[in-house]
């Protein structure tokens, strides 16, 4: 695979943290131009602090830009029960001396995209609410032609994890998700349909916690927090939702999926944030589909590739 120009938009978040570790371990394959943060698992100050500390801790020298502190319409909805008050469970990382960019993330993203050579395009991997991406597309629609594809963790065709209808990222900002769905940019949806199978087991997490490598140990610590403080303890494994987009970019063969014509419910009712669609077989999905939805993964391969990457960071600090 040629080195892929990549922007990561995230809300770290314990599974975002493992996604960043996976990205840091694949610097040969990804030319990471920026990490942008968005209000989601915790408030924008905390997730930005976490993004700065995580990228420094992993040895990933990349600008971090602070994004939208609120969803487009409704109030924030944080997830301390899964990610803790800090956003990284009880894991304490060295404080990075780096500061976030002066410019807000949306302007920083625009400047990168507008400054690309004519024939170049960027891939966006988004693992939080899609607020930054939606504002970017609304403010600067001309940058759409500079975006190769957007791979996002969000949504679900099989019910929600925050309400019966909605997955967290789509629940926090369904209006943003709708704007992205209607953008006509090539989209890959890594929803709960596939990320519920993108897991690490209790034993794998325990082994990470016992690692002599700081990065692997910290990732085990963060996954351990989710394992012990959420319903995942009953399952004995934790979904590393946010590792799915980059894992698909590198190893598409371990996934399966299909084209779909999808929409998002932005009403105020019990189905707010629900993904609508997935049935109209008589519609021509090739011409009308707006998103490729991942539906299955080889769980063992996912675990092998993720764990290998976490150990590959070695002494990174």
Partnered with residue 291 across adjacent β-strands are 260
Query: From CA 62, how far away is CA 3, in angstroms rounded?
Result: 16
User: Does 89 interact with Ca ion (rule: CB under 5 A)?
Assistant: no
Site for Ca ion in 25-54 (CB under 5 A): none
Instruction: Please tell me whether residue 173 binds ligand RIB under the rule CB under 6 A.
Output: no
Write down the least CB distance from residue 148 to ligand RIB, Å. 22
Minimum distance from CB of 269 to Ca ion (Å)?
25
Binding partner of residue 37 among ligand RIB, Ca ion, none, CB cut-off 5 to 8 Å per kind: none
- Given candidates 6, 7, 9, 16, which one binds Ca ion under the rule CB under 5 A? 16
Quick one: 168 or 292, whose CB is closer to ligand RIB?
168
What, of ligand RIB, Ca ion, none, does residue 168 touch, CB below 5 to 8 Å by kind?
A: ligand RIB
**Contact between 168 and ligand RIB per CB under 6 A:** yes
According to the binding rule CB under 6 A, does residue 84 interact with ligand RIB? no
Show Cβ contacts of residue 308 under 8 Å, excluding neighbours closer than 6 positions. none
Residue 11 designated active-site: yes
242 touching ligand RIB, by CB under 6 A: yes
Q: Which is nearer to ligand RIB, 32 or 153 (CB)?
A: 153
User: Which of 132/213 has CB closer to Ca ion?
Assistant: 132
235 burial (CB, 10 Å; 0-12 / 13-18 / 19+) is middle
User: What is the number of the residue whose Cβ is closest to ligand RIB?
Assistant: 168
Say whether residue 11 binds Ca ion (CB under 5 A): yes
The footprint of Ca ion on residues 119-178 (CB under 5 A) is 127-128
CB of 283 to ligand RIB, least distance (A): 28
- Comparison of 10 and 208: residue with beta carbon closer to Ca ion: 10
Decide if residue 127 touches ligand RIB (CB under 6 A).
Answer: yes
CA-nearest of 274, 272, 252 to 262 is 274
Question: Computed from CA positions of residues 4, 196, 51, 146, in that sequence, does the dihedral angle turn out positive or negative?
Answer: positive
Which residues, in sequence order, are CB contacts of 50 under 8 Å at separation 6+? Answer: 12, 13, 16, 17, 42, 86, 87, 88
- Shortest approach of ligand RIB to residue 86 CB, angstroms? 14
Cα angle vertex 165, ends 281, 262, to 5°? Answer: 30
Partner in contact with 50, chosen from Ca ion, ligand RIB, none, beta carbon below 5 to 8 Å by kind: none
Long-range Cβ pairs for the range 23-28 (8 Å, 24+): 23/60, 23/125, 23/246, 24/55, 24/58, 24/59, 24/60, 24/215, 24/313, 24/316, 25/309, 25/310, 25/312, 25/313, 26/246, 26/250, 26/309, 27/60, 28/3
Name the residue nearer to ligand RIB (CB basis): 16 or 232: 16
H or E stretch at 152:
strand 147-153
| Beta strands 237-239 and 199-201, pairing class | antiparallel
Nearest approach, Cβ of residue 102 and ligand RIB (Å): 26
Eight-state DSSP code of residue 20: H
SS3 letters for 283-310?
Answer: CCHHHHCCEEEEEEECHHHHHHHHHHHH
| Residues engaged in binding Ca ion (CB under 5 A) | 11, 13, 16, 127-128, 242
Active site residues: 11
Contact residues for ligand RIB, defined by CB under 6 A: 11, 13, 15-16, 40-41, 127-128, 153, 161, 167-169, 241-242
């Amino acid at each position: 695979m040629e080195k892929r120009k990549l922007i990561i938009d995230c809300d770290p978040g314990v599974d975002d943290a493992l996604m960043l570790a996976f990205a840091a371990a694949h610097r040969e394959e990804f030319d990471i131009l920026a990490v942008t943060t968005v209000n989601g698992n915790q408030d924008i100050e905390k997730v930005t602090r976490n993004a700065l500390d995580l990228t420094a801790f992993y040895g990933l020298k990349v600008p971090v830009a602070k994004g939208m502190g609120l969803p487009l319409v409704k109030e924030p909805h944080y997830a301390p029960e899964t990610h803790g008050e800090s956003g990284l469970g009880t894991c304490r990382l060295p404080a990075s001396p780096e500061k976030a960019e002066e410019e807000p993330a949306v302007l920083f993203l625009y400047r990168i995209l507008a400054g690309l050579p004519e024939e170049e395009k960027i891939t966006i991997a988004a693992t939080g609410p899609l607020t930054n991406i939606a504002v970017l597309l609304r403010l600067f629609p001309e940058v759409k032609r500079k975006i190769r594809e957007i791979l996002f963790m969000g949504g679900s065709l099989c019910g929600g994890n925050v309400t019966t209808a909605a997955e967290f990222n789509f629940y926090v900002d369904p209006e943003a998700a709708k704007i992205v769905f209607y953008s006509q940019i090539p989209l890959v949806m890594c929803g709960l349909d596939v990320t519920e199978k993108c897991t690490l087991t209790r034993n794998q997490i325990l082994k990470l916690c016992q690692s002599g490598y700081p990065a692997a140990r910290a990732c085990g610590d963060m996954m351990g927090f989710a394992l012990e403080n959420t319903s995942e303890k009953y399952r004995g494994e934790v979904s590393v939702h946010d590792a799915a987009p980059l894992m698909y970019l590198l190893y598409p063969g371990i996934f399966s999926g299909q084209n779909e014509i999808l929409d998002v419910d932005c009403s105020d009712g019990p189905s707010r944030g629900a993904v609508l669609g997935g049935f109209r077989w008589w519609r021509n999905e090739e011409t009308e589909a707006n998103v490729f939805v991942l539906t299955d993964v080889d769980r063992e391969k996912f675990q092998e590739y993720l764990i290998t990457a976490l150990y590959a960071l070695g002494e990174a600090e």
